[in-house]
């Protein structure tokens, strides 16, 4: 690609590329470095993206695609995803096109140019293993097919570029390999088995932190300044943490495609596809059930300013301003008693829903605001009241 001197010429170039017959903007794209298997060099264990794009920066995508095509790589716009190797010639073509903006590419500006420039300099200085760097393009949000494409989607979730539960993650477990993780690096389990004797006698057997298909959130994501994760093992990559969230050690855990959409305190478990709203507190040992753990496949959302007491279990969606007392389990079929007086107050707080009766299953109360789930200390009966207190987090801590 020839050197482009002006912004006007750059925009004309992008327009011409995008006007090509059959051209389609990718919904997600980025350049990654991959880790190969130690035993099977054709196996990709991990893909690391310094920057990803999701429904944005289509001008950069056009330049990437054009430069890849000029190096002889075919781009199938009808495919769900396309992965092409990055070469020095590809990088040079991109740099030539990005010339009008190169002086502005620092800080938060023109991240794609920064990626191209940094990688070009690194390869010129240190060289690269064939296929080590790759351009990933996702054109359709279909089931996950590759490690590179799966990681790109997980990045989109963990960087909040895609909303939770908005992406197709079917096939992710099949696309990723189960590996041993040591100091952030993946190791083939087969390689460890083949070399176990020699490694142990040489005192070179690595410290294995965990074994999983997914890395940890902090291995790939730099959280916002006022977000705290006190134990890196508590958040899986693909989770989403809103700025101001605190993940305490102990019984806390946030799975992939789950997390917080506001400032939250988390001392319990946010299972897969569960979402916690702004100002809510997941108490010590509290558990929000995931789509594979008792919700009949229905993802759970917790509203704003809601408190889940210690060791409680929530298997239905909750609205805003709810309280679940410690140790209470709220499942779809759990029956709760509601007095006539409290029912009137609950209906008043939820004008779009009118409840009638004295006993309700959990699923009939799903998503309502201002509920207080309790257990009568005298009779042991499970009851629901209209919540009378506002749940507020400590502003100094968030």
360 shares a domain with 223: yes
**Catalytic residue chosen out of the listed positions 267, 348, 356, 390:** 267
Residue 2 placed within a domain:
no
Query: Given 212, 234, 268, which residue is the final one in a domain?
Result: 212
Q: Which positions ≥6 away from 324 have C-beta within 8 Å?
A: 286, 306, 307, 308, 309, 312, 314, 318, 330, 373
Average pLDDT in the chain: 95
Question: So what's the pLDDT on residue 296?
Answer: 73
Query: Given 190, 212, 234, which residue is the final one in a domain?
Result: 212
| Between 215 and 391, residue with greater pLDDT | 215
pLDDT in tens, 58-67: 999 999 999 9
pLDDT in tens, 239-270: 999 999 999 999 999 999 999 999 999 999 99
Q: Work out whether strand 28-36 and strand 52-54 pair parallel, antiparallel, or are unpaired.
A: antiparallel
pLDDT in tens, 329-383: 999 999 999 999 999 999 999 999 889 999 999 999 999 999 999 999 899 999 9
* Token pair listed for 288: 């929000």
Closest CA to 305 of 319, 286, 291: 319
Per the structure, the complete domain to which residue 138 belongs is given by 7-177
Residue 263 placed within a domain:
yes
Mean pLDDT of all residues in 153-159: 98
Mean pLDDT of all residues in 27-46: 97
DSSP assignment letter at 19? T
Mean pLDDT of all residues in 37-52: 97
Please state, as a whole number, how many other Cβ atoms lie within 10 Å of the Cβ of residue 256.
23
Q: What is the largest CA-CA distance in the chain?
A: 82
* Token pair listed for 52: 């990803």
Are 83 and 17 contacting, i.e. CB atoms less than 8 angstroms apart? no
Q: Is the pLDDT score of 395 beyond 70?
A: no
Mean pLDDT of all residues in 163-192: 97
Backbone φ and ψ for 269, nearest 5 degrees, come out as: -105, 125
Residue 296 placed within a domain:
yes
Radius of gyration of the chain measured on its C-alpha atoms = 25
Residue 231 placed within a domain:
yes
Q: What is the DSSP string of 223-238?
A: --TT-EES-GGGBBBT
Q: Is 267 a catalytic residue?
A: yes
DSSP assignment letter at 62? H
DSSP assignment letter at 177? P
191 shares a domain with 62: no
122 shares a domain with 57: yes
Closest CA to 137 of 16, 24, 1: 24
304 shares a domain with 201: no
DSSP assignment letter at 362? G
332 shares a domain with 299: yes
Q: Is the pLDDT score of 291 beyond 90?
A: no
* Token pair listed for 7: 């912004």
Question: So what's the pLDDT on residue 396?
Answer: 62
Q: How confident is the model at residue 221 (pLDDT cuts 50, 70, 90)?
A: very high
pLDDT in tens, 268-282: 999 999 999 999 999
Q: How confident is the model at residue 93 (pLDDT cuts 50, 70, 90)?
A: very high
Share of the chain above pLDDT 90, in %: 94
Residue 1 placed within a domain:
no
Rounded CA gap, 327 and 374, in Å?
9
Rounded CA gap, 346 and 355, in Å?
8
Q: Is the pLDDT score of 398 beyond 70?
A: no
196 shares a domain with 250: no
Per-position b or e across 139-169, b if 16+ CB within 10 A of its CB: bebeebbbbbbbbbbbbbbbbbebebbebeb
Q: Is the pLDDT score of 297 beyond 80?
A: no
- How far is residue 104 from each of residues 4, 124, 185, 265, measured CA to CA in Å? 15, 22, 34, 39
160 shares a domain with 72: yes
Mean pLDDT of all residues in 171-191: 97
* Token pair listed for 144: 């996950």
Residue 136 placed within a domain:
yes
188 shares a domain with 319: no
Q: Is the pLDDT score of 394 beyond 80?
A: no
Are 178 and 213 contacting, i.e. CB atoms less than 8 angstroms apart? yes
* Token pair listed for 107: 């800080």
Rounded CA gap, 272 and 256, in Å?
6
106 shares a domain with 143: yes
Question: So what's the pLDDT on residue 293?
Answer: 73
CA dihedral over 64, 67, 73, 79, signed as positive or negative:
positive
Q: Work out whether strand 228-229 and strand 246-247 pair parallel, antiparallel, or are unpaired.
A: parallel
pLDDT in tens, 298-340: 899 999 999 999 999 999 999 999 999 999 999 999 999 999 9
- Domain of residue 304, CATH code: 2.160.10.10
358 shares a domain with 236: yes
Question: So what's the pLDDT on residue 391?
Answer: 57
Are 277 and 307 contacting, i.e. CB atoms less than 8 angstroms apart? no
Rounded CA gap, 56 and 156, in Å?
12
- Domain of residue 124, CATH code: 3.30.70.2010
Residue 132 placed within a domain:
yes
Q: Is 384 exposed, middle or buried (0-12, 13-18, 19+ CB in 10 A)?
A: buried
Mean pLDDT of all residues in 123-141: 96
Ranges 156-165, 179-188, 253-262, 388-397: which has the least confidence = 388-397
241 shares a domain with 375: yes
Rounded CA gap, 154 and 149, in Å?
9
Residue 319 placed within a domain:
yes
Q: What is the DSSP string of 93-104?
A: HHHHHTGGGGGG
Please state, as a whole number, how many other Cβ atoms lie within 10 Å of the Cβ of residue 247.
27
277 shares a domain with 240: yes
Domain count within the chain: 3
Question: So what's the pLDDT on residue 397?
Answer: 59
Please state, as a whole number, how many other Cβ atoms lie within 10 Å of the Cβ of residue 274.
29
């Amino acid at each position: 690609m020839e050197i482009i001197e002006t912004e006007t010429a750059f925009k004309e170039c992008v327009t011409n590329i995008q006007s090509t017959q059959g051209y389609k903007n990718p919904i997600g794209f980025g350049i990654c470095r991959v880790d190969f298997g130690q035993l099977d060099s054709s196996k990709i264990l991990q893909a690391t993206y310094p920057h990803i794009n999701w429904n944005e920066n289509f001008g950069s995508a056009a330049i990437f695609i054009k430069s890849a095509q000029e190096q002889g790589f075919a781009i199938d716009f009808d495919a769900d995803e396309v992965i092409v190797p990055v070469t020095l010639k590809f990088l040079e073509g991109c740099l030539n096109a990005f010339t009008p903006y190169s002086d502005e590419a620092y800080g938060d500006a023109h991240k794609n140019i920064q990626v191209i420039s940094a990688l070009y300099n690194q390869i010129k200085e240190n060289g690269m293993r064939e296929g080590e760097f790759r351009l990933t393009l996702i054109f359709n949000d279909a089931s996950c097919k590759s490690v590179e494409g799966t990681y790109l989607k997980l990045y989109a979730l963990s960087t909040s570029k895609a909303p939770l539960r908005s992406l197709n993650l079917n096939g992710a477990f099949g696309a990723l390999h189960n590996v041993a993780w040591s100091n952030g690096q993946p190791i083939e389990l087969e390689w460890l088995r083949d070399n176990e004797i020699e490694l142990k006698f040489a005192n070179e057997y690595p410290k294995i932190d965990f074994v999983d298909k997914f890395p940890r959130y902090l291995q790939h994501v730099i959280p916002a300044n006022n977000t705290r994760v006190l134990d890196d093992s508590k958040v899986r990559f693909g989770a989403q943490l809103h700025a101001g969230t605190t993940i305490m050690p102990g019984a806390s855990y946030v799975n992939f495609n789950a997390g917080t959409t506001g400032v939250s305190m988390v001392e319990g478990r946010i299972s897969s596809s569960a979402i916690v709203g702004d100002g809510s507190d997941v108490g010590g040992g509290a558990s929000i059930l995931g789509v594979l753990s008792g919700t009949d496949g229905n993802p759970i959302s917790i509203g704003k300013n809601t408190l889940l007491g210690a060791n409680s279990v929530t298997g239905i969606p909750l609205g805003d301003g709810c309280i679940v007392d410690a140790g209470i389990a709220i499942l779809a079929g759990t029956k709760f008693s509601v007095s006539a007086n409290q029912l009137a107050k609950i209906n008043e707080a939820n004008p779009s829903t009118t409840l009638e009766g004295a006993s309700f299953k959990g699923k009939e109360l799903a998503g309502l605001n201002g509920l207080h789930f309790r257990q009568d200390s005298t009779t042991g009966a499970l009851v629901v009241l209209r919540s009378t207190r506002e749940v507020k987090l400590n502003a100094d801590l968030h």
